[in-house]
Amino acid sequence: MATAELNGAAIKDFDSFHAACKTAMGFPDTYGNTMDAWVDCLSYLRDDDSMSKFRLKPNEVLEIVILDAPAMQAAVPDIVEEITYCVAGLNERYEDYGEKPALKLTLR
């Protein structure tokens, strides 16, 4: 399984969240540092569009692991909630297109 790890203890706001995601997931230089851009970059994990460093096979899943998740939950619960919501929405989108869900969120 492909894995992207984020250090939850280092995420203190949306700016640090987006910077961590850009590094961990290989988002392009044009990444917009918004949740809309985050969703866009993770919408095409099985396509060859260079929106991230991951190219998933048809049944493969990208696991997004947030290390020190309790620290992140305490500091920025709204971001954890937003990520959870977006991952669920992205997986629904994949299913709507007849594909298997592509994302798994793991809080450690």
Write down all domains in the chain, each with its CATH number in brackets: 2-107 (3.30.370.10)
pTM for this model (two decimals)? 0.96
The fraction of the chain above a pLDDT of 70, given in percent, is 100
Q: Which residues pair with 106 in a beta bridge?
A: 65
Which sign does the torsion angle of CA 86, 51, 46, 7 carry? negative
Closest CA to 62 of 22, 17, 106, 20: 106
Structure tokens at 38: 């985050």
- The helix (H) or strand (E) run that includes residue 106 is strand 103-107
d(Cα 4, Cα 22) in Å, to the nearest integer? 10
* Tens digits of residue pLDDT in 59-105: 999 999 999 999 999 999 999 999 999 999 999 999 999 999 999 99
